[in-house]
Amino acid sequence: MDARTLDLINLELDGRLDAAGQAELDAALADDPAARARREQLRAVARKLADAPAPALPLDFRDSVLRRLPQRVNRRLRAPRFWRGGLALAASVVAAVIVLRVVQHGPALSPDQLGATLAPATATVTPAPRPGGLSLNFTLPQAPADLVIDLPGEGPLTAFGEQGAAPIVEGRRIVVVAAGGSFAVHVSGDIDGFSANLVRGEAVTPVTVRVP
Amino acid sequence: MVEEEADEALVTRCRNGDGGGFATLVGRYERVIFNLAYRMLGDPDAARDVAQAAFLKALENLHRFDSRFRFYSWLYRIAMNEALDVIGHRGRQRELTDVHLADDDPARDAQTADLGERVRGALGALTPDHRAVLVLRHYQDLSYEEIGRVLELPDATVKSRLFEARERLRVRLADPAGEH
């Protein structure tokens, strides 16, 4: 049996043989018992693969995937190193609340005054009020990270993203798995302030709030 | 095709923050992704972990998905890469165990192992590259072109690798009794 015949047998097995190829194979098989035997062996391989049982999917598979979505981010946030950056986080919370009030109720502090209170960072967010909530326009460095937005207060929140953002809402926390770039997260609910942090591994970096 | 449009719609929902869209995608593809991982790894526990990791990675990288292509091809690629990573970390030790099961004791293989075990052992004895094309062709029913997209290989390479893998599997699965 030559290599061409073996190729034709494989192509036939994969349903890729056209009429001319099939005629060529049939002619080759008619004159070659070894080729006929090989075709049967390869068909048997395909049957065995198809018939080999696989274990059943775990019943809770989907739930276990969905449960891991927020947990993975929360676990990082609960890491001890996170609390070493607690002061920076607290500062960003306070700043965000102040900035939000400026946005919603008019400037009480100048942008310079606000900027002086914020931790330096390359990641920025520009908040803007929207009916029933808040729009957060982010510009993040080009690097994979989890963007964690915390909104103090009570009551349910809903969120949707733009420009590729897919926010996941968990109580008063919103998580966006981000790769960097610019995108918007629109939040609805009872909102009185927010903080935003980038979480990469165990490193937490506050996102700088910019006044529009 | 209706299903592909539905996938696109679900991806759009995910991108808009609708967690239900992602849950539906997981439900739609959980069996095939788990099966792909199992056929690559031969271990249900590792397959579950790889399948979970694949879905999570897909969600994380959804903004990179190019909607001109089929979602499932992209998902298969993620799952296959996850499985190949596990195989790479696992090293050759496990593979050699499977080779022993498949090759060195054919009598035991024929008498005590069922077809699933024989196929698992024979697949485990192949190189990961050969196993990947076989799994995508025979268990996921992908065309040469689709396999090429998943594995990022030219079609000609897919074809030659598949034929070679099939030939090796034929030898490993040869029935001592001569049955087909």
Q: What is the DSSP letter of A143?
A: S
List pLDDT tens digits, range B17-57: 777 788 889 989 999 999 999 999 999 999 999 999 999 99
Structure tokens at B74: 């992209």
Asked if the model's pLDDT at residue B101 lies above 70, the reply is no
CATH architecture of A70-209: Sandwich (2.60)
Q: What is the DSSP letter of B102?
A: I
- The sign one gets for the Cα dihedral B115, B116, B117, B121 is positive
- Residues 62-91 of chain A whose Cβ lies under 8 A from any Cβ of chain B: 62, 64-66, 68-69, 72
> Complex ipTM above 0.90?
no
Asked if the model's pLDDT at residue A110 lies above 80, the reply is no
Are B48 and A61 an interchain contact pair (Cβ–Cβ within 8 Å)? yes
pLDDT at B111: 44
pLDDT grade for A108, boundaries at 50, 70 and 90: very low
Structure tokens at A68: 């891991």
Residues A180 and A207: beta-carbon distance below 8 Å: no
Say how many C-beta atoms besides its own lie within 10 A of residue B170's C-beta: 17
Chain A: nearest CA to B176, how far in angstroms? 13
Type of residue found at B51: A
pLDDT at B99: 39
Q: What is the DSSP letter of B17?
A: T
Residues A172 and A152: beta-carbon distance below 8 Å: yes
Nearest CA in chain B to A159: B17
> Which residues does chain A have within 8 Å of residue B142's beta carbon, measured at their own beta carbons?
none
Say how many C-beta atoms besides its own lie within 10 A of residue A89's C-beta: 19
**Alpha helices for chain A (secondary structure H):** 3-13, 19-30, 33-51, 61-77, 80-84, 86-105, 111-116
Are B63 and A168 an interchain contact pair (Cβ–Cβ within 8 Å)? no
For chain B, list the domains and their CATH numbers: 1-90 (1.10.1740.10), 91-180 (1.10.10.10)
Between B11 and A40, the more confident residue is A40
> Which residues does chain A have within 8 Å of residue B16's beta carbon, measured at their own beta carbons?
160-161, 166
When the pLDDT of each residue in chain A is averaged and rounded to a whole number, the result is 77
- The sign one gets for the Cα dihedral B78, B79, B82, B87 is negative
pLDDT grade for A167, boundaries at 50, 70 and 90: confident
Alpha-carbon distance of A73 to A56, in angstroms, equals 29
Nearest CA in chain A to B145: A16
Q: Sketch the domain layout of chain A as residue ranges.
A: 3-51, 70-209
User: Does A120 lie at the interface with B, CB-CB under 8 angstroms?
Assistant: no
pLDDT grade for A79, boundaries at 50, 70 and 90: very low
> Which residues does chain B have within 8 Å of residue A161's beta carbon, measured at their own beta carbons?
15-17
> Which residues does chain B have within 8 Å of residue A14's beta carbon, measured at their own beta carbons?
137, 144, 162
Are B56 and A49 an interchain contact pair (Cβ–Cβ within 8 Å)? no
pLDDT at A72: 53
Alpha-carbon distance of A20 to B46, in angstroms, equals 45
Alpha-carbon distance of A196 to A205, in angstroms, equals 9
CA atoms within 13 A on the CB side of A58: 17
Structure tokens at B27: 């439900």
CA separation, residue B178 to residues A45, A76, A88, B103, B164 (Å) = 13, 57, 73, 16, 22
Are B61 and A179 an interchain contact pair (Cβ–Cβ within 8 Å)? yes
Alpha-carbon distance of B115 to A44, in angstroms, equals 12
CA separation, residue B79 to residues A23, B123, B141 (Å) = 39, 17, 16
Percent of chain A past pLDDT 90, that is, above it, reads 27
Strand intervals (E) in B67-180: none
* End-to-end CA, chain B: 37
The candidate with the shortest Cα–Cα distance to A53, out of B117, B112, B80, is B117
pLDDT grade for A8, boundaries at 50, 70 and 90: very high
Percent of chain B past pLDDT 70, that is, above it, reads 81
Alpha-carbon distance of B11 to B25, in angstroms, equals 8
pLDDT at A181: 85
Of B19, B44, B170, the CB nearest to A42: B170
Between B78 and A65, the more confident residue is B78
Chain A: nearest CA to B125, how far in angstroms? 14
Alpha-carbon distance of A191 to A84, in angstroms, equals 27
List pLDDT tens digits, range A115-164: 323 333 478 899 998 888 899 999 988 777 788 888 888 888 888 888 87
pLDDT at A174: 87
Are A52 and B15 an interchain contact pair (Cβ–Cβ within 8 Å)? no
Helix (H) or strand (E) holding B60: helix B44-60
Size of interface A-B (CB pairs under 8 A): 116
pLDDT at A75: 52
pLDDT grade for B94, boundaries at 50, 70 and 90: low
| Displacement of CA A203 from its chain's centroid (Å) | 19
pLDDT at A87: 40
Are B56 and A69 an interchain contact pair (Cβ–Cβ within 8 Å)? yes
- The sign one gets for the Cα dihedral A6, A7, A10, A16 is negative
Chain A: nearest CA to B92, how far in angstroms? 23
Segment A112-117 long-range contacts (CB within 8 Å, at least 24 positions apart): A114/A209, A114/A211, A117/A91
When the pLDDT of each residue in chain B is averaged and rounded to a whole number, the result is 83
The pTM (predicted TM-score) of the whole model is 0.61
pLDDT at A70: 61
